[in-house]
Amino acid sequence: MWLAYRKVIGVDFCDENWPTCGTCKKVGKEWSGPSKRVKWVTYGKHTREERHRLSSSQYDFSMSPADKTSDTNSTFRIYAQKVQVPSKPSGTRADLLSGNLVQYLESSQCTGYSLSMVVHSLCHIPPMLESNDALFDATDLLISTWQKLCQGWGLGEIFDLRTYSRTLRSLQKFLFDYEKGFDQIAHSNGIYTILMRRGAPEPGNNFDCLLMLDSFAFLYKRILISNIKNFFSQPEWKQAITSYFDQWKVSNPFVVEVGKFIHISTLVMGVVKRFSLLQKSPGSLHDARAIDEFTAALDDIRYKIHANEEVTIQMLLRSNQIHEMDDPESPLGRSYMFPSGEVALYFANLTSYNIVIGRIRQRLNALLGIEDPSLEAECYERSSRIWRTCRYSETLKPLGSVSFFGAKCVSYMSAPPAVRLYLLSQLYYNILIFPMKN
């Protein structure tokens, strides 16, 4: 009778969500899984927690009074499933960011900013974003900038300074983690590869120039402190940098000079490393040939920096594009005004490297017993230039600052007490605005 009754209602199997319901057991049947729309209830409402897999909050049950109070042998309960919309998306922040990336992969087509090259590795993105803060911040910045580009925002509107600064600090922390070992080399090469894929910006696009300087800046300190002897061949930094900036030699002379400066920066790194080795080997100080070779290399870099400064900064100073104005907050009473942030960055870079070269010469003279007070005066004058660019310190990350423990730190060492207090106040102000991630 039970089987006949089941056939009448069009159900040819038991849909009770038990391992084996009582009715099926009597007729030798095995439970075959729950039905999507019909529930067979024996002896009233079942109360077992495992009668369905999904949470009861996801369903809306339509029950008759008989379903709740019936003591008959069997009652049919027809119910409709109603999925509730979650109050917030599920998943980690990495999952959500990955979904955002996938969402905009298709929308970026024909905009000039397509990232279709990463489609084959999408399955690896969430765990990578979850395990690496630097990668997460960089991807977050990429997505936010990408969306604005696709929506037609201007270059002056797409730049989120707070996100950008957080990204760079996170990347810096990752690159300076000594436990990463050779992974840092791969990451550095990856930055260079991204820049090469990006290609030359259009003429006059100094925004890209600023991004490139910041990207390269985080490679320098790693090169300087690295104990890997063949680091410069992974990749060949001179050829890599030169080939990158050669792409737009004709279209943007200012960027060409920036390219020369970045190459000079790698030479400065080499001199600093040579000097550190010289200090660690007391016998080298008595080797006249080694001292002469190092002095010649130091003078050569000094000449190149001054020549570069003459055709860039000095030219802008003579044309009054860089000029001083009264600034009551500065201990010197005056500050520089620049035509753009890129020029201010370039100015700070050249100044900080001149200070570094001067300090190396001072230390070398001290080791050799030579006194030259003019070097101290020159370093102090160069430091005063750094102080007069402090109003730009919120947005600038000079290469010299990244590589040589801070242009402000270099200035601080030779500053009088009043100026030191000012420099410290500027430093603390920047830390409050852009705190380093823990």
Helices (H), 312-372: 313-318, 341-368
Q: Give the separation between CA 273 and CA 279, rounded to whole angstroms.
A: 10
Other residues' Cβ atoms within 10 Å of the Cβ of residue 408: 22
Count how many Cα atoms sit within 13 Å of the Cα of residue 414 in the half-sphere of its side chain: 21
Q: Chain-centre distance of CA 422, in angstroms?
A: 30
> Is residue 35 packed enough to be buried (19+ CB in 10 Å), middle (13-18) or exposed (0-12)?
middle
Side-chain-side CA neighbours of residue 11 (13 Å)? 19
Question: What's the rounded Cα separation, in Å, for the pair 343 and 104?
Answer: 34
Closest Cα partner for 303 from 377, 379, 357?
357
pLDDT for res 73: 43
- Tell me what pLDDT residue 417 has: 72
Q: Which of 38, 126, 99, 124 is nearest to 74 (CA)?
A: 38
With vertex at residue 30, the alpha carbon angle to CA 27 and CA 36, rounded to the nearest 5 degrees, is 115
Neighbours of 198 (CB within 10 A): 13
pLDDT at 37: 44
Q: Are the C-beta atoms of residues 397 and 217 closer than 8 Å to each other?
A: yes
Domain positions in the chain: 2-78, 209-433
Alpha helical stretches, state H, 47-122: 65-69, 93-107
Q: Which residues contact 215 (CB under 8 A, 6 or more apart)?
A: 191, 194, 195
Residues in the chain: 438
- Predicted TM-score (pTM) of the model is 0.47
**For each of the chain's 438 residues, which pLDDT tens digit applies?**
444 444 434 444 555 544 555 555 555 555 555 444 444 444 444 444 344 443 333 333 344 444 444 444 444 444 444 445 444 445 566 666 666 655 555 554 554 444 444 444 445 556 666 666 666 666 666 666 666 666 667 655 665 555 555 555 555 555 555 555 444 444 444 445 445 555 554 555 555 554 555 555 544 444 444 444 444 454 555 555 556 556 555 555 555 666 666 667 767 777 877 887 787 777 777 788 888 888 998 999 888 888 888 888 888 899 898 889 887 766 667 888 887 666 776 787 788 788 788 888 888 888 888 888 888 778 777 877 777 776 654 444 444 444 434 444 445 555 667 666 665 565 455 434 333 332
d(CA 146, CA 113): 7
Gap between the Cα atoms of 19 and 226, Å rounded: 64
For residues 342 and 406, is the Cβ–Cβ distance under 8 A?
A: no
